[in-house]
Structures are given as structure tokens and as C-alpha cells.
Amino acid sequence: MFRDDALDTLERLRRDGLRIGVLSDCTIELAETWPTLPLAHLVDTVVMSCQEGRRKPDPELFRQVARQLDTPTSECLYVGDGGGDELSGATAQGMTAVMLRAGDWATNDAHAREDNWPGPCFPTLSHVVSAARDPSLITA
């Protein structure tokens, strides 16, 4: 199940000419169904732990996404719920990391989540569009 604003957010980012990558700690079921998902055509690259044989926060995963997007890590905005120490992992690779701390965050169980993330947080996925347009909006 996707967030209500996921498709709209991705479509708006694409219209703005931005490249989009997904990095997921997942099982093979997601890898197998990915091409059939309604948002798959909006994503330029997908890196899945089940196919790479490693999990977040492995530095190579973050670098791989950036390479496949042909974008320096320093120009990547990484948004996640903090599971798998992903925000610290992205930051360590030079990405700007933002926690998606939506309304269901407290009840959403994530492995090794960075509950005390000191960095910036967005209350909805749609906030990514504004932040991508104006990076000064990304504040802790």
C-alpha cells in the first residue's frame, strides 16, 4: 500500500525534471512485483537489498543509487522513515537526509529505526516537492 500522496508527489517531481531512485530493504516479493506497480514508471532506478545481498546502511547501496541516477551523492535528497539506519547511512555518503515522519510513523514498525533522528523531518511525502524546489526549506 502506498501513501495517498505518493503518485502525485512522484509525478510532480518528474514534471520538475528530477530523477528519482528507490532504495529498499525488501524481500524478493517486492522485486518480482515492482514492474507492475503503478509508480514503477515514475522511478528511474531501483536498488533492492534482496537483489544486492546487502542491507542499509551499507554505503555501497547509497552510492549505487546515486551512480545509477548519474548524480553526485552531494546532490541527492534522501527521504525515508529512518528504518535500517538509512538516514545516517545516506548522510554519511554526503546525501541530504530527511525523515518522513507521517501520521502513521509511531505505529509503523521498522527495523533499526532512527527514532531520535536529529535532522529534518517532513510530515507528508508531498513536502518533498517544495524542498526539491527550494532546498532552504530543509531544516532540522
Condensed to tens digits (0 to 9), the pLDDT of residues 79-123 reads 999 999 999 999 999 999 999 998 777 677 777 788 899 999 999
Mean pLDDT, rounded, for 46-59? 97
Grid cell locating 104: 502513521
* pLDDT the model gives residue 106: 67
Residue whose grid cell is 517486492: 30
Which residues face 104 on adjacent strands? none
Residue 106 burial by Cβ neighbours in a 10 Å radius (0-12, 13-18, 19+): exposed
* pLDDT the model gives residue 122: 95
Mean pLDDT, rounded, for 72-81? 96
Nearest Cα neighbor of 98 from 110, 106, 90 is 90
Position 1 confidence tier, pLDDT thresholds 50, 70, 90: low
